[in-house]
Amino acid sequence: MTYADLSEAELQSLKERVGQSYAEAKARNLSLNMARGKPGADQLDLSMPMLSLLASPADCIAEDGTDCRNYGVLEGLPEARRLMADLLDDEPENVIVGGNASLTMMFDTVSWFWAFGSLGSKPWREYDSVKWICLVPGYDRHFAITEHFGFEMIPVALGVDGPDMDEVERIAASDERVKGIWCVPKYSNPSGVTYSDEVVRRLASMKCAADDFRIMWDNAYAVHHLFDDAAEQDQLLDIGAACRKAGNPDRYVKFGSTSKVTLPGAGIGAMAASPANVADFKAHLTISSISGDKMNQLRHVKFLHDGAGIAAHMRKHAAILRPKFELVDRKLAEGLNDVGECSWSSPRGGYFVSFDAPHGCAKRIVQLAKEAGVTMTGAGATWPHGNDPHDSNIRIAPSLPPVEELEEALDVFVCCVKLAYLEKLLG
Amino acid sequence: MTYADLSEAELQSLKERVGQSYAEAKARNLSLNMARGKPGADQLDLSMPMLSLLASPADCIAEDGTDCRNYGVLEGLPEARRLMADLLDDEPENVIVGGNASLTMMFDTVSWFWAFGSLGSKPWREYDSVKWICLVPGYDRHFAITEHFGFEMIPVALGVDGPDMDEVERIAASDERVKGIWCVPKYSNPSGVTYSDEVVRRLASMKCAADDFRIMWDNAYAVHHLFDDAAEQDQLLDIGAACRKAGNPDRYVKFGSTSKVTLPGAGIGAMAASPANVADFKAHLTISSISGDKMNQLRHVKFLHDGAGIAAHMRKHAAILRPKFELVDRKLAEGLNDVGECSWSSPRGGYFVSFDAPHGCAKRIVQLAKEAGVTMTGAGATWPHGNDPHDSNIRIAPSLPPVEELEEALDVFVCCVKLAYLEKLLG
């Protein structure tokens, strides 16, 4: 028995009660936030020891003798490239360590392709239009980059094992102006899915009309498991190896960062790509950059050491995050199982739960929540141009609020879902 | 009596003796470097206390309560904008604090103008060609940026009080495709000159054929005095105030950083411009950046405090650098006063001495020095495309080597100047 099965009178009476709960929530003058994937303060505390690792001049010397306090080393310290190679599942010599954000490296990469082309190809700005595959639901800041350069964004559905590959293959083969695709291949933002091996292989080997088609592989949640047991952790095939095997070694560019490993905004970003792409990128970077912040690189290496060190550190994050994700799942199930037309993801990693509301209700839910003091990611944000054709998807980010606040915020959210759906059913 | 006055026989005998000295220098297998404006290790030590200022979570809270360990604050912490406003001689609300390098901010700014235009103007990429005024001798990394975007670079002489303004005015007024000028207005790289008030006013008020002509005001050495006495410090008129007064408020973009205040590569970069320009820049940055590294911003604020704190810190740098600049001047005078056709700057601040060798000798001098183990900035680097038409200018960077090494390096340099000139005179 769900809302759709109720009579109008029953719905009316239900709406009165839900409306009463909503009014009570509003009266509490809450200020809660489930909008962005920000770590909580207890997660940030985990990295405090990192801040005191460079105290004497001797601490600031890299393994090859470089004084990290001075200019130089454009592509990053050797030990930092090794660390980030572990994170990116690649070889250190293919890694460039950048500034404090992989987002900036993604923007710059698209900008270089657009302005100057890739490996000698025609600069994308010289086409009458550039098209780009955007998986939905997806990450709003990816879409913002391709929108900024005026690309036409083509939404393709992201399923439980990755993109709808029949669609992706059809579009990529159809037009040389289709130049690439955004991917968050592991614990995807927002739906939490990880691409299957088969999907990775098809992305690597598919026929593209454009020789310079590029997969922007934003592995933002590479090590961000919610469970410690390997059997409960998603595994992702290496896109680099798959592309090489398929004879398309230059098709991918990997990105990652320590933003949600150590400190957001004070972490280190990195990219990895084929030797030809890396040489191309360095030719641009040598003009625009003096180097990343080597002191921060060295801090990270001394704190995290290597892949095993990262994994150990991430288990501490998981211990804090797991109860929050379990709470989301429990609260939504308790509150919405008898409502109907609602579904949500139960990811094994990452930072988000993807919620699908009854069609036509997402904007209203987010508005109701906002008026009751609970800030959600804007409805539609998970679609290009903020345009969700079903007005259904809402991204829930449970990491920032402490558990008690999260519980309160979820109660309000559930109430808003019910109210919006009742409003819809009652027309 | 200089070399030009000597007979061929005298020159021959002199060349034999100088060649002998050069061979002796070469035999010492030196490895000395006067190539780039890198601070010495003792200068870097001055900033070590900065690295231990953020030890507890409470240390990481900004004055408005922001937890600097988490995401946010695109344009920089309020206190960091205030600090950099002191450095840039501007108002905090006009300042954007960026990443670890003003160079990247300069590249990005040119890139935005080129790709998207400025304040609604036609994107520069849409012109058949873009022209740019490059003051010579000047900074090679500036020239590299405008070269990267394919601009035609027009060299104009930089004199003792700034650019040859008659030339600059003539060129700026001649063609709407002349879009800007690179300026290092104080203790210029490499010649050490500071623009006179009259020059600043003429730059601000000159007639430009392009409405979107932009002065890229790289005030890299704003606080980098070599002398403590105000009477021996250069003063620079504020280009922002001058542009506003002249009715051209959007013409300038200021840049600066703490690279040579605290730690190169681990400092903070910043820019300042009119409110309209700042709004324009933020519309781009909100797509490409998550924010600068707020932890590093906070470290800098806690260490330097304000303009007075910066000045006090810079006096410590000056105490280390001044003897090196005095040594350069003394060594060049002792070694070259009876040679002729050589001149050099005696700056009151900055990082460089600009040396003018007898015409046609600069490349040979740098090559001879290199073969004797003394690395100089490449001859020609101070001109666009590395093309110094007189093959005369060499940039001397005395900051990195300890005094004893600097003395040795200068002896070799003087020897190379003599030898190259003698080779020229003897045809």
Residue B130 has pLDDT above 90, yes or no: yes
Tens of pLDDT, residues B24-64: 999 999 999 999 899 999 999 999 999 999 999 999 999 99
Give the DSSP H/E element, type plus range, for residue A242.
helix A239-245
User: Could you tell me the pLDDT band of residue A15, with boundaries at 50, 70 and 90?
Assistant: very high
pLDDT given at position A408: 97
pLDDT given at position A1: 83
Q: In A, which residues are within 8 Å of B126 by CB distance?
A: none
User: Could you tell me the pLDDT band of residue B23, with boundaries at 50, 70 and 90?
Assistant: very high
Partners of residue B344 on adjacent β-strands: B355
- Cα separations in angstroms, A177 against A215, A273, A356: 14, 22, 32
Instruction: Please give the biggest Cα pair distance in chain A.
Output: 78
User: Could you tell me the pLDDT band of residue A273, with boundaries at 50, 70 and 90?
Assistant: very high
Q: In B, which residues are within 8 Å of A103 by CB distance?
A: 288-290
Nearest Cα residue to B386 out of B135, B144, B190, B145: B144
Mean pLDDT computed over every residue of chain B: 98
Tens of pLDDT, residues A370-380: 999 999 999 99
Judge: B36–A144 Cβ closer than 8 Å, yes or no. no
Contacts of A178 (CB under 8 A, 6+ apart): A131, A132, A133, A154, A171, A172, A208, A209, A210, A213
pLDDT given at position B206: 98
Tens of pLDDT, residues A281-319: 999 999 999 999 999 999 999 999 999 999 999 999 999
Q: How far is A16 from chain B (nearest CA, A)?
A: 40
Judge: B55–A54 Cβ closer than 8 Å, yes or no. no
Q: In A, which residues are within 8 Å of B104 by CB distance?
A: 99, 288-290
Nearest CA in chain B to A67: B41
Judge: B295–A263 Cβ closer than 8 Å, yes or no. yes
Q: Do the Cβ atoms of B366 and B344 come closer than 8 Å?
A: no
Convert chain B into a string of H (helix), E (strand) and C (coil). CCHHHCCHHHHHHHHHHHHHHHHHHHHCCCCEEECCCCCCHHHHHCCHHHHHCCCCHHHHECCCCCECCCCCCCCCCHHHHHHHHHHHCCCHHHEEECCCCHHHHHHHHHHHHHHHCCCCCCCHHHCCCCEEEEEECCCHHHHHHHHHCCCEEEEEEEECCEECHHHHHHHHHHCCCEEEEEECCCCCCCCCCCCCHHHHHHHHHCCCCCCCCEEEEECCCCCCECCCCHHHCCCCCCHHHHHHHCCCCCCEEEEEECCCCCCCCCCCEEEEECHHHHHHHHHHHHHHCCCCCHHHHHHHHHHHCCHHHHHHHHHHHHHHHHHHHHHHHHHHHHHHCCCCCCEECCCCECCCEEEECCCCCHHHHHHHHHHCCEEECCCCCCCHHHCCCCCCEEEECCCCCCHHHHHHHHHHHHHHHHHHHHHHHCC
A356: alpha, beta or left, given left = phi > 0 and alpha = psi -120 to 50? beta
Tens of pLDDT, residues B388-397: 999 999 999 9
Share of chain B above pLDDT 70, in %: 100
pLDDT given at position B395: 97
Q: How far is B342 from chain A (nearest CA, A)?
A: 31
Dihedral of the CA atoms A136, A142, A147, A148 (nearest 10)? 170
User: Could you tell me the pLDDT band of residue A45, with boundaries at 50, 70 and 90?
Assistant: very high
Nearest CA in chain A to B109: A288
Q: Which amino acid is at A277?
A: N
Q: In A, which residues are within 8 Å of B255 by CB distance?
A: none
User: Could you tell me the pLDDT band of residue A216, with boundaries at 50, 70 and 90?
Assistant: very high
Q: Do the Cβ atoms of A274 and A326 come closer than 8 Å?
A: no
Q: In B, which residues are within 8 Å of A296 by CB distance?
A: 266, 293, 296
Average pLDDT for residues A234-259, to the nearest whole number? 98
Tens of pLDDT, residues B230-280: 999 999 999 999 999 999 999 999 999 999 999 999 999 999 999 999 999
pLDDT given at position B92: 98
Tens of pLDDT, residues A386-423: 999 999 999 999 999 999 999 999 999 999 999 999 99
Residue B1 has pLDDT above 90, yes or no: no
Q: Which amino acid is at A111?
A: S
Tens of pLDDT, residues B172-210: 999 999 999 999 999 999 999 999 999 999 999 999 999
Judge: A100–B265 Cβ closer than 8 Å, yes or no. no
Q: In B, which residues are within 8 Å of A284 by CB distance?
A: 148
Judge: A289–B71 Cβ closer than 8 Å, yes or no. no
Residue A349 has pLDDT above 90, yes or no: yes
Give the DSSP H/E element, type plus range, for residue A33.
strand A32-34
DSSP for A270-327, written as a single string: EEEE-HHHHHHHHHHHHHH-S---HHHHHHHHHHH-SHHHHHHHHHHHHHHHHHHHHH
Contact with chain B for residue A148, Cβ under 8 A = yes
Q: How far is A70 from chain B (nearest CA, A)?
A: 5
Contact with chain B for residue A69, Cβ under 8 A = yes
Contact with chain B for residue A284, Cβ under 8 A = yes
pLDDT given at position B29: 95
Taking residue A162's Cβ as centre, other Cβ atoms within 10 Å add up to 23
